[in-house]
Amino acid sequence: MIPLVDLTAQYHSIKKEIDEAVLATLASGHFILGPQVTKFEENVAAYLGMKHAIGLASGTDALVIALRALNISAGDEVIVPAYTFFATAGTVMSVGAKPVFVDVDPQSYQIDVNKIREAITSKTKAIIPVHLYGHPAEMNPILEIAREHGLKVIEDNAQGFGAEYLGRKTGSFGDVGCLSFFPTKNLGAFGDAGMVVTNDPALAERMRMLRAHGWKKKYYSEEVGYNSRLDALQAAILQAKLPYVDSWNDKRRELAHRYTEKLGSYLVTPIEREWGKHVYHLYIVRSAKRDGLQAFLKQKGIASEVYYPLPPHLATPCRKFGYKEGDFPHAELASRETFALPLYPELTLSQQDGVIMAVKEFAH
């Protein structure tokens, strides 16, 4: 069996460091926030070149807290890509605002910057570009449009930890960058975990309040917040992993380029724009015969997965906005044809060859 991702392989590769981090946290008695979380926040801020990092319970909470901190609420509109994980749109709805979808580039799957302006109205307050699958969104045109129209930019960097746009880390361009450390991410916890980053001290203070019941001072709520604090145990595990993330991303890139070289004649393989460094959170290919190919791979003991079978504008919660099939053709076609092949830093070349051979066998 060749899994889509093998989390135990990564654990065993640095077992000593992780075990020590866990045991030290258990011995410390600090389980909610505390020194482990502070250290990890400081190190992620330094890694991304940011001034403030605030550890949270999940990447979804990061989006909610970013939206709340920027005072986005009922009556507001937020521009989001039409092809992404539902949370990008769902969090906008959870603060009472309306997601306004924009179709994606059919090759990179990033928001089509040429279509953003036409989606802006007097109610638009922000743009959420998503560095989907680990490929950076085209940030300079997005930031230019935001400046022209007085809009905020929230980067959904859940899948792009370590990716770069013009040599600078994704997550460091917008008013707020949102991170996810879900276990399968390039930097993954052993449970749910997330973070927001910003260079704005006032925004940072507001987001710290929002993660802990609206407190500046313990038990004195100044607004309605959340209980969304990064566990010390997860922070310790993530801190043990952080020094390895660049080498893991390099390995992902090597394996991805090898797939692309071997499979380019059989599938539509991922593109990497000249201005971007892709970190291949997922290795996404497309085929008009996706379902048949996935069934064939399954027979061969090879896992694959569709990310995402339903574009968010067609999901039940978005029906009330009147979106319909055909509104965003590139997003809809991608949802019908794309899927992920096994990719993780510990994938062996013989395992990868097994995947490559199976795809070629199906094609013949």
Q: Tally Cβ neighbours within 10 Å of residue 148.
A: 10
| Beta strands 77-81 and 124-127, pairing class | parallel
pLDDT computed for residue 123 by the predictor: 98
pTM: 0.97
Delimiting residues of CATH 3.40.640.10 domain(s) in the chain = 7-102+109-243
Average pLDDT over residues 154-183: 98
Residue 54 confidence (pLDDT) above 90: yes
Listed in sequence order, the DSSP H helices in the chain are 7-13, 15-28, 35-48, 59-69, 87-94, 139-149, 201-211, 232-241, 245-263, 290-299, 329-337, 349-363
Q: What integer best gives the mean pLDDT of the chain?
A: 97
* CATH number among 3.40.470.10, 3.40.50.1370, 3.90.1150.10, 3.30.830.10, domain 245-363: 3.90.1150.10
Residue 364 confidence (pLDDT) above 90: no
pLDDT computed for residue 19 by the predictor: 98
Q: What are phi and psi of 77, to 5 degrees?
A: -120, 145
> Which band of pLDDT confidence, cut at 50, 70 and 90, is reported for residue 259?
very high
d(CA 152, CA 176): 9
Delimiting residues of CATH 3.90.1150.10 domain(s) in the chain = 245-363
Average pLDDT over residues 167-185: 98
Average pLDDT over residues 204-219: 96
Nearest in space to 189 (alpha carbons), one of 54, 3, 61, 59: 59
d(CA 94, CA 74): 10
DSSP 8-state secondary structure symbol assigned to residue 191:
S
Q: Which CATH architecture has domain 7-102+109-243?
A: 3-Layer(aba) Sandwich (3.40)
pLDDT computed for residue 281 by the predictor: 98
> Which band of pLDDT confidence, cut at 50, 70 and 90, is reported for residue 296?
very high
d(CA 179, CA 170): 10
d(CA 177, CA 48): 10
pLDDT computed for residue 137 by the predictor: 98
CB 332 within 8 A of CB 81: no
Q: What percent of the chain has pLDDT over 70?
A: 100
